[in-house]
Amino acid sequence: MNITIIGTGYVGLVTGACFSNLGHSVICLDINESRIRSLQAGVMPFYEPQLSELLMKGIDQKTIIFSTSYKEACKNSIFFICVDTPDDGNGNPNLSSINATSSMLGENISQNSLVITKSTVPLGTNLALQEVFDSIFQNKDISVRVCSNPEFLKEGSAVHDFMHPDRIIIGTASESAKETLKDIYKPLNKKINKLIFMSVESAELTKYAANSFLATKISFMNEIAQIAEKTGANIHEIRAGIGSDHRIGADFLYAGLGYGGSCFPKDINALIGYENSANMPVSILKAVKELNDKQVDYFFLKIKNYFGDSLSEASFVLWGLSFKPNTDDIRESIAIKLIQLIASKVQTLYLYDPVAMDNAQQELGSIKNIIFSKSKYADLQSANALIICTEWKEFWDPDLQELEKLKNKIIFDGRNILNPSKLAQRSITYKGIGI
């Protein structure tokens, strides 16, 4: 099928690249001219495992092209909207890109079309879009159907998630839209039916509910971890004990610095916003957010209590700047929040991340006592302690001889990835969360 993807961010590029790999002919549209030129030259705007290879394959086979022209993109009749809906600063999704997209589609669509929203949008957005298109095309003998197909892609494994989905949620009452989407997703739906059809409203809320529930599991475990520390329990043992219960499951039960990124914080805020607009309490979601917001303070207190009055004379090496491993995305990164909290209170911070250094430099470059390290071990001898903020695989089994170079031989592990027993054998003090 001939498909147009609107937006070339994480969701748009992954969706476009994967659809082209499934045999569809794809136009990726974006109004950002410099990004489109870079993509045409095969240059990726961000790091995502497997994506560059998949895009280059599509470019070579001419199954994917990049354009800034709505006129060109509207030669197709199937549109996936994948534009950003960021937090507007007041806890509400910013729908300006959605509105601009619908306006441009209204000006350029010239045939019966299907518009599918993959962007995370608040309840009622798809209905509002349908009303806009109905109004625009009511006298033009053109039918434009709107349906919801929310994405469930994790940064760092987005390509795998797309090609091996747990489920494919589609919100529509249109039988023709259902049949079209069945055809589009047929290569991913051969052996086991992954397609779940529901109302548009249910599809919109399903996306928010899924992310909010995962965030809830994280905040819950962080609260249990604090109790564990007070009682002498071990959060790793607790996770094994409750995660083996099939009713609970082991995923997202990791205590640590809390959740970040572009999705969980934004989606939690969006649902909390319904408290005022719909006059309904959202007590659990507010508690989830509050716990997460306080987790970085809780971790910093560990560092502060250990060094006491000497904190201002201390220097630290910090590993991990992205909000999670396998991405260079630092949006809502807990590491960035910790750095901004601690930088003014210490002598020097040495920072290292496998792929997020450039983005971090843009965000933190104005802070004078920050040094970006050439490697993870480069500045250990100049630091009093090591702080781990992101669980990159290369941090899981470090060279213990290198860690012994730390002046105070202490590690603050914000992701509980190191083995305290091995460190103790080298007389290295370990401070985790819930341990």
370 residue type, one letter = I
Single out the residue of 216, 237, 241 nearest to residue 228, CA to CA.
237
Q: Evaluate the CA torsion angle 340, 342, 345, 348 in order and state its sign.
A: negative
- As a whole number of angstroms, the distance between CA 57 and CA 64 comes to 9
Angle between helix 283-307 and helix 200-231 axes, rounded to 10 deg: 40
Angle at 423 between CA 422 and CA 425, to 5 degrees: 70
- As a whole number of angstroms, the distance between CA 266 and CA 89 comes to 10
List 28, 82, 147, 263, catalytic entry: 263
Instruction: Find the farthest-apart pair of alpha carbons in the chain and give their distance in angstroms, rounded.
Output: 79
128 alpha-carbon distance from chain centroid: 26
DSSP 220-248: HHHHHHHHHHHHT--HHHHHHHHHTSTTT
How far is residue 282 from each of residues 12, 92, 259, 276, measured CA to CA in Å?
31, 15, 19, 10
- As a whole number of angstroms, the distance between CA 151 and CA 233 comes to 38
How many C-beta atoms lie closer than 10 Å to residue 413's C-beta?
25
3-state SS of 328-370 is: CCCCCCHHHHHHHHHHHHCCEEEEECCCCHHHHHHHHCCCCCE
**Is 28 assigned a catalytic role?**
no
Single out the residue of 153, 150, 285, 158 nearest to residue 213, CA to CA.
285
Please identify every residue annotated as catalytic.
263
